Structure 1
Amino acid sequence: MLHAVVMAGGSGTRFWPKSRRNRPKQLLRLYGDATMLQQTVARIAPLVTPERTLIITGSDQADAVRAQLPQLPPENVVAEPCPRDTGPCVGLAAEIVARKDADGTMIVMPADHVIEPREKFLTTVSAAVSVIDADPSAFVTFGIKPTHPETGYGYIERGEALPSKAGIALHRVAQFREKPDRETAERFLAEGRFAWNSGIFVWRARAILDALQTHRPVLAAALDRVGQALGTADEEETVAREYPLMEKVPIDKAVMEKATNVRVLEVVYDWNDVGDWRALTALVPPDDQGNTTQGKVFANDTTGSIIVSDDGGVIATLGVDDLVIVQSGGATLVARKDQLDKLKALVEGLDKGGFGSLL
């Protein structure tokens, strides 16, 4: 059976001040009537029941996640005692799935992507599952066709073409590439055989655990000790002891870059990873002056800006261009759009500067 694993951790820096440590972006309603986490779970719901849906999150966010997803069994919201990147996160989820369903297939998804339309996403998932059903040792990743030379994403180089699935192109993966510099990204785009790495994967739970055993045996041994304790009186103590000592490593580096049986489906849906406030422009149509606004905003002689009033107050602007202005939770951010890559450093500076209560 298919199980959904939603990775819902995060430190809440990229959408500060609206996001906070206990309220990262996936718990926010950035657009529409539901939070990003709720939209992610609803998106996969036609293929996966709540009982087969796992959320892996931080211990300080678990209660908020359960409150947002009351349809899930409370125990399906699994709290990591500390962040250890996606390798241990995926491994922990695989241990849980494998003990419930020895032949279980997992789709692993970040909680904070925007994907439209849902029907094309579900078709892609079903295509990936059919690949795994035919070869349970395979790993499938979803590749996004690049639209510009993006330096903020990892890339997948396509290899041999395989028979398509449901009209979706399928290839072997030649190799994974790290986030490139501008010149390399432009070359990737021109060559046409590279896809953005979406971070969405489909595989058998047992297969990813076996791969971790091969490529990361120390991590796999720690995960096995956790797995043996699941559902016993020792579970909480074992997780608390083992998890902080696990290697902090992405699943891409731990397995995907080393495995030889990786396939990539070139997806046909629209995808946005909502990286920071600039992504809001693609989700909320700008006005005639190119401004994206939410809440009570009066923009006068203002162009190309993103302005969000989340506190109920009014933000009035005059004669500004290409700014991001966000007022939320007693804090206000004013930044040039081209400086948002430095927002994490700003938030860290606020903590050191004695403003930790705003984080």
Structure 2
Amino acid sequence: MLHAVIMAGGAGTRFWPASRVDRPKQLLDLTGDGTMIQATASRLGDLMSPERILIVTNERLIEPIQQQFPSLPASAIVGEPCKRDTAPCIGLAALLVARHDPDAIMVVMPSDHVISPESAFQSAIRYGAALVADSADKIVTFGIQPKYPAETFGYIERGDSLTSDAEAPPTFSVARFREKPKGDVAREYFESGRFYWNSGIFIWKAKTILDALRRHEPEMFAHLEAIGAAWGTPEQAETFTAEFTAIRGKSIDYAVMEHHQDVAVIEAPFLWDDVGNWQSLQRLNDSDLDGNTVLANHLGIDTQQCIIKADDDHLIVTLGMREVIVVHTRDATLVADKNREEEIREVVKQLQANGWDAHL
């Protein structure tokens, strides 16, 4: 059967001050369609019943996520004791899914993407799941046609065509996974026509990913096996904390995808945005005649190409502003040059260094 794993442990620091440690990006409504994680779960439609959805997050977010999904059982939300990247997260999820369904096929996805239309997404998942079901060792991922030479995404270089059905989306073997490139390299990838953005969405059999982790990351897998053995026993909490903390964090791309031989990439037949920073709001919302994206009570005078966001009815007035981000929350306000948006992460680091934990 098909199961969904939603990875929801990210901190979303580039969305400070709206995103905080107890209410990160995935728990925010940034698009007007509910919170990011609610939209992710809703997007699954009738692909699987709710009892086959597993959310993996960090332990401090269990309660707020339960509040957003009151119909899900407590066992459907797993809180990691510490951050260890995507490979341990996925390995743990695969162990838990396989306990109840040894033949499970898993679709694994981040909790903070915007994808439309939902019907195209669901059709693509069904197609990918069928490819996995027909192969003992296949892993499927989804590639996004690049719109510009992005330096903030990983890339997938496609190989030979695997498409045999004229009605199916273009499907290729994966030649290589590439890390986030510098400007000239990103431009080369973009112009070649052979590269996709890496969506971070995967389909595989639980057994396949567990075997791959056992083979390529034996030390990590040993810790995960110990957690699985204690799951559901009185020793679960203590073992989970001790063993998971001992894992060396690693992404699933480094741990498995760069080594696995049978990987297919499907050219995504849906629109995708990873909503990685405040400028994403300009792609997802209409702008006014001056190019401003306004999600607030705002008076703009001689203001162009700005992003204005507030959580309440607080009035924001801008005068003579160009390419600026202004985000107002109850206890913090950000004013930043749009061209230096990546440095918002440094703001969070400075707050940590100064001990201003109330604003994190």
Provide TM-score, normalisation by structure 2: 0.98
Cα separation, partners in 2 of 1:195 and 1:33, compared to 1, 3 Å: closer
Q: SS at 1:61's partner residue? A: helix
Q: Distance in 2 between matches of 1:136 and 1:342?
A: 44
What displacement does 1:242 show?
0.3
CA drift at 1:145: 0.8
Conservation of the 8 A alpha-carbon contact between 1:58 and 1:79: yes
C-alpha separation in 2, matches of 1:148 and 1:11 = 26
Q: Which residue of 2 aligns with 1:54?
A: 54
Q: Secondary structure at the match of 2:13?
A: coil
1:279 maps to which residue? 280
The runs of at least 4 consecutive aligned structure 1 residues that moved more than 4 Å come to none
Name the SS of the counterpart of 2:96 in structure 1.
helix
Q: Does the 8 Å CA contact 1:88/1:223 hold for their aligned counterparts?
A: yes
Q: Which amino acid aligns with 1:233?
A: P
1:347 Cα deviation after fit: 1.1
CA offsets 1:118-141 (integer angstroms, 9 cap, x no match): 011011101100101110311001
The one-character-per-residue Cα deviations of 1:146-175 (angstroms, maximum 9, x if unpaired) are 111111111111111112465201111111
Write the distance in 1 (CA, Å) between the matches of 2:301 and 2:122: 43
Which residue in 2 is equivalent to 1:211? 212
Q: 1:169-184 to 2 correspondence within 5 Å?
A: 169-184=170-185
Q: What residue identity is the alignment partner of 1:195? A: Y
* Distance apart, 1:33 and its partner CA: 3.5
Counterpart residue number, 1:340: 341
State the AA in 2 paired with 1:229.
A
Moved more, 330-339 or 220-229: 220-229
Deviation (angstroms), 1:297: 1.1
Aligned-pair CA distance for 1:305: 0.2
Seen in structure 2, the aligned counterparts of structure 1 residues 9 and 164 have a Cα distance that, compared at 3 Å, is farther
Question: Aligned AA for 1:281?
Answer: Q
Q: Which residue of 2 aligns with 1:10?
A: 10
Identical aligned pairs, as a percentage? 45
Q: Which whole-Å deviations, capped at 9, do the CAs of 1:1-33 have from their partners, x for residues lacking one?
A: 000000001224111111101111010001224
Q: CA deviation at 1:335?
A: 0.2
Quote how far apart the aligned CAs of 1:351 are: 2.0
Q: Which amino acid aligns with 2:182?
A: D
Provide Cα deviations, 1:171-225, integer angstroms capped at 9, x if missing partner.
1111101111111111111111111100000000111000001100111111111
* 1:19 counterpart = 2:22: no
Paired residue for 2:269? Answer: 268
5 Å-filtered alignment, 1:109-124, equals: 109-124=109-124
Contact 1:326 1:334 in 2 (8 A): yes
* SS of aligned partner of 2:92: helix
Match of 2:140 in 1: 140
Q: Which amino acid aligns with 2:108?
A: V
What residue ranges of structure 1 are gaps of 5+ in the alignment?
Answer: none
Q: TM-score, normalised by structure 1?
A: 0.98
Correspondences of 1:243-258 after superposition (within 5 Å): 243-258=244-259
Whether the aligned pair in 2 keeps the contact of 1:293 and 1:308 (CA below 8 Å) is yes
> Cα RMSD over matched residues?
1.0
* Residues 213 and 221, structure 2, Cα contact 8 Å, conserved in 1: yes
Aligned to 2:67: 67
**Structure 1 residue 312, shift from structure 2 partner:** 2.5
Counterpart code for 1:357: A
Match of 1:307 in 2: 308
Q: 1:39 to 1:164 in 2, by over 3 A?
A: farther
Matches within 5 A, 1:210-249: 210-249=211-250
Q: Does the 8 A contact of 2:285 with 2:293 survive in 1? A: yes
